[in-house]
Structure 1
Amino acid sequence: MAAGYRVDAQRWRVLFDDLMLTVGHRFRRPEPRRRVRDFVRGLLAPLPTKNCWTIAEHAGDAGPDGMQDLLTRVKWEDTAVRADVREFVGHHLGETDAVLVNDETGDLKKGRHTVGVQRQYSGTAGKIENCQLAVHLVYATDAAHAMLDTALYLPKSWWDDPERRAEAGIPGCVRFATKPQLASRMIEAAVAAGLPCRWAAGDEAYGNDPRLAARLRQLRLGYVLALACSHQVTTGIGTYRVDVLAAELPATAWQRVSAGRGAKGYRYYDWSFTALPHADDEHGGHHWLLIRRNRRTGELAFYRCWSPEPAALHTLVTVAGHRWKIEESFQAAKTGLGLDQHQNRRWTSWHRWTTLAILAHAFLAAATAGHRHHDEPTDLIPLTVNELRHLFNILIIEPTRRRCDLLLWSIRRRRHQSRAKTSHYARQALIEP
């Protein structure tokens, strides 16, 4: 180790072991407890692609059956494991001013048999594609952010096709829910569990739903939710579309405030906020319309805001800036933890894969936040989630990893591909002349 530069790898090992012991009580037998540990280590490892085959080979298993069983046949509740992750995040990252951030992400898919898939708009692709959409909840503070919870969105087309739902293994108790409804359920669960937080944030898909805003007020959770430019608000001088109101604001109504630190400097925008006393309801509190203006392009963004207590402009801007942290979480989880690399068509296996990816991200977030409490040399940026994952693999995973017979794994893969090819040709022969 270079002189003057230290990392506490032993602390990371202890933190990882504690987390795996915590979730381990969700499994009845020692075999799945060992396997889930190996699975998460595989997600943390720098594998070119991540699926049950590559993770099993990395773990030193004789074949992929055990990892596949972990996602399909072994009895365990993914909701209970996510509850353990939520408690872990609250213990290591918990702050009273934390923000719960909701957003969805899409995974591009082929065919129509993967659970939840249809042609729909994906923000990941920026257009309508054949994809799955899942709503995620992220816990964000000034120092760190970690993934907490997830819910797969099922389009209405799936509810008109009972046979398709049965084939995907969707439980009968599952009912159709919009994305804001899924977000509301996850937030309610976090608040009911006592997770320390004071704010919620989300984009237009959530800000345009008045029922979600009403539920957050009922929970006494302040919010900064994005709005469409066509949204109407009532001020002391009348009812206006928010974009019309913004055009009529005088120059003195705008203030230059940073929405947070970026990789290339502070994220400065012009901001204006207007009190909305006519928006009061039985929940009381304080309502505002917050408007953001890009200093270079003039592009506008609008937010509905509420807090049970008075809040300064800087506070609302900080909460709005925290919404971007969910994009950083998605990027880290997809590029480093295989969040979108699953090959699972059914309901249960999708939720289990995603839950274990969330668990791995929560560990990295907690380990990174703990490292920042130590003195750092001034010529280094703080340790990032991606860099810590790299170091954890080199210093902790690799020295203790079981090795497998690489030739036997090559034979197994080619035999599996041969059987699949034979099966495809046989199926084609039944329908083709």
Structure 2
Amino acid sequence: MMTARQVTRIRGQLQSFVEEFAEDLGRSERRHWCGKYLEGLLREGERKSIEPLAARVEGDEQALQQFVNQSPWDHRAVLHRLRQQMRASALAGGVLVLDDTSLAKQGRHSVGVARQYCGALGKIANCQSIVTWHWMDKAGLHWPLAAELYLPAEWTEDTLRMSRAGVPPAEQRFREKWRIALDLLEEMKPQLPAYQAIVFDAGYGVVQPLLAELEERAEPYVAQVPGNIAAWPDAAVAIHKPTRRGRPRQHALVEDPAMHPLTMVGWRDKLLQEPDRWAQVRLPRADGAGVRAVAVRVQASQRGSRWRQPGAARWLLIEQLSDQTFKYHLSNLPSDTPTAELVRLAHQRWAIEQGYQQLKEELGLDHFEGRSWRGLHHHLTLCFLAFCFLTKLRSSKKTTLAA
């Protein structure tokens, strides 16, 4: 967060930054209040909801309310231009981080609020859940790319409730988080630099249709998965055996009847019997910490199939952390990918936690009431603008934020 003195020093740069979005924001008063709102998000202060924010920047509270909650500017167009601008700072070979963040809410009137898992609280609670994409590259540069509110079924089954919250007709349908994520990816992909992989945690890794869809689209990924996900040995071969009588078999069978799929935990126990296959790998962190890791080629286990025959070829990466816990990852990266590279990519998503912390604790991402669809997505977009402005400011050799 910045002091009043620091904000005064960079106010010209901030307004120039806002003017880059003039075509998307439209009228001059919108650009004025956008600058004021961003200034309020950047300024130090415990609460970043509109009333204290307006007092902090000596702005008109009603005008700021109208700009965020009712003004018709298109948040998707603003994010589209933001990605175009940030691309110039990105190094090719980064990763896309898929995640979601939760905004805890006390009442039930904010759009999309329901009792669901709230990562911010670590339990089931009333919250909004936002599907997000972030960029992360080898230089440590990262920023948010896109975000969209997830509407639970209890919302999409209540048309009147959605209409009262201003949910657009096109969005008044139930979509799982992973389908929202794929729609956002399709929308933003033409703007993105070349990336090495998509990375995500077990909340998405457990969704087998997501992995299958990414493979269908030839999207490289490194997915953390829970320990109960299964995989076949790489050597498993499925064949169609003819039947002597009756109907022909509809499903293939594994040629070797002694070969079975193992859960991730089963693979861990098996590989722990082969200590020479494990290696100590340094993590991409300044403190030089590392993990003990092993990577083996496996085949997907098709849980939806009667015979669970082998599926797509994947890497299975197992990490043993310093506290003796284990993490499991599946990846469709090429068969010659080194273990150290798989580990590096898997850990790229951890830097995003710092981004969430800054967005929430410093920029007030979760301070907004968020009753309407438009207001919530406007606020999300403005927080992303503030984050990216700070990123550009800190990377500039011409600017110092020293008091």
Give me the whole-angstrom Cα distance separating, in 2, the residues matched to 1:60 and 1:133: 32
The residue identity in structure 1 corresponding to 2:225 is L
Aligned to 1:121: 117
Aligned to 1:151: 148
Q: Is the 8 A contact 1:285 1:309 kept in 2?
A: no
Counterpart among 289, 295, 298 of residue 273 in structure 1? 295
Query: Is 2:158 the counterpart of 1:161?
Result: yes
Using the aligned pairs only, state the percent identity.
27
Give me the whole-angstrom Cα distance separating, in 2, the residues matched to 1:11 and 1:185: 40
Aligned counterparts, 1:74-85, within 5 A: 74-85=71-82
Aligned to 2:282: 258
Q: 1:158 to 1:37 in 2, by over 3 A?
A: same
Counterpart among 227, 230, 245 of residue 229 in structure 1? 227
Counterpart among 266, 270, 287 of residue 244 in structure 1? 266
Aligned to 2:190: 192
Q: CA deviation at 1:258?
A: 1.9
Q: Is the 8 A contact 1:199 1:223 kept in 2?
A: yes
Aligned counterparts, 1:413-432, within 5 A: none
Give me the whole-angstrom Cα distance separating, in 2, the residues matched to 1:16 and 1:141: 25
- Please state which structure has a larger fraction of its residues in helix: 1
- Secondary structure in 1 matching 2:40: helix
Give me the whole-angstrom Cα distance separating, in 2, the residues matched to 1:338 and 1:273: 40
Aligned to 2:339: 313
After superposing the two structures, state which structure 1 stretch, 192-201 or 310-319, moved more: 192-201
Give me the whole-angstrom Cα distance separating, in 1, the residues matched to 2:300 and 2:127: 41
Q: CA deviation at 1:353?
A: 0.4
Give me the whole-angstrom Cα distance separating, in 2, the residues matched to 1:10 and 1:109: 33
- Secondary structure in 2 matching 1:69: helix
Give me the whole-angstrom Cα distance separating, in 2, the residues matched to 1:318 and 1:130: 35
Give me the whole-angstrom Cα distance separating, in 2, the residues matched to 1:340 and 1:163: 26
Q: Is the 8 A contact 1:86 1:195 kept in 2?
A: no
Q: What do the CA deviations read for 1:170-196 (whole angstroms, capped 9, x no partner)?
A: 111112111111222222223222433
Q: CA deviation at 1:365?
A: 2.1
Query: Is 2:181 the counterpart of 1:183?
Result: yes
Q: Is the 8 A contact 2:14 2:35 kept in 1?
A: no
The residue identity in structure 2 corresponding to 1:340 is D
Give me the whole-angstrom Cα distance separating, in 2, the residues matched to 1:186 and 1:105: 15
Question: TM-score, normalising length from structure 1?
Answer: 0.78
Q: CA deviation at 1:367?
A: 2.9
Aligned to 2:330: 304
Q: Is the 8 A contact 1:87 1:195 kept in 2?
A: no
Aligned counterparts, 1:6-405, within 5 A: 16-61=14-59, 63-92=60-89, 94-143=90-139, 144-174=141-171, 175-235=173-233, 236=235, 238-249=260-271, 250-262=274-286, 265-276=287-298, 287-295=314-322, 297-307=323-333, 310-371=336-397, 391=401
Q: Is the 8 A contact 1:159 1:176 kept in 2?
A: yes
Q: 1:347 to 1:51 in 2, by over 3 A?
A: same
Give me the whole-angstrom Cα distance separating, in 2, the residues matched to 1:102 and 1:358: 16
Give me the whole-angstrom Cα distance separating, in 2, the residues matched to 1:298 and 1:110: 37
**Any unmatched runs of 5+ in structure 1?**
1-8, 375-382, 395-433
Q: Is the 8 A contact 2:230 2:300 kept in 1?
A: no
Q: Is the 8 A contact 2:95 2:135 kept in 1?
A: yes
- Secondary structure in 1 matching 2:204: helix
Q: 1:14 to 1:311 in 2, by over 3 A?
A: farther
Aligned to 1:422: none
Tell me how large the CA RMSD over aligned residues is: 2.7
Q: CA deviation at 1:338?
A: 0.4
Q: Is the 8 A contact 1:198 1:221 kept in 2?
A: no
